[in-house]
């Protein structure tokens, strides 16, 4: 089954794996040691990330290294980025509302 990047990042464990691999390559065992779930469960998450092209597995001797492929996260970044201005506008409005409430509370004291 071919999955897309959105399916991959939908799961918090897979997002954590991506974060772990952002700055370093790790063996499958090193990744598994970072989680309180079974190794087969971690392997399943790694398999999904590999199917989506987010990570590449490089065999070096007996070790299998997970290496991030950040360019394959670009579709998710672009989709999220289009909503940035909307979120910022909403948060700015909320901040203004909170400031109004604070001012009102100070006047009532």
User: Between vectors from CA 4 to CA 67 and to CA 12, what angle results, nearest 5°?
Assistant: 65
More confident residue, 13 or 90: 13
Which pLDDT tens digit goes with each residue over 94-105? 888 888 888 877
Both tokens of 52, joined, read 């989506």
Which pLDDT tens digit goes with each residue over 48-58? 999 999 999 99
Range of the domain at 72: 5-83
pTM as predicted: 0.75
**Residue 93, in any domain of the structure:** no
**Residue 20, in any domain of the structure:** yes
Q: What is the pLDDT, as a whole number, of residue 1?
A: 56
**Residue 99, in any domain of the structure:** no
**Residue 90, in any domain of the structure:** no
**Residue 17, in any domain of the structure:** yes
Find the CATH number of the domain harbouring 33: 1.10.10.10
């Amino acid at each position: 089954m071919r999955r897309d990047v959105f399916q991959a990042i939908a799961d918090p464990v897979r997002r954590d794996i991506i974060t772990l691999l952002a700055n370093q390559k790790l063996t499958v065992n090193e990744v598994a040691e970072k989680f309180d779930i079974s190794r087969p469960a971690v392997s399943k998450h790694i398999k999904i990330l590999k199917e989506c092209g987010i990570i590449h597995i490089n065999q070096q001797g007996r070790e299998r290294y997970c290496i991030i492929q950040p360019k394959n996260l670009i579709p998710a970044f672009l989709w999220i980025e289009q909503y940035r201005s909307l979120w910022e506008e909403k948060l700015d409005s909320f901040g203004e509302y909170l400031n109004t409430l604070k001012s009102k509370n100070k006047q009532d004291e």
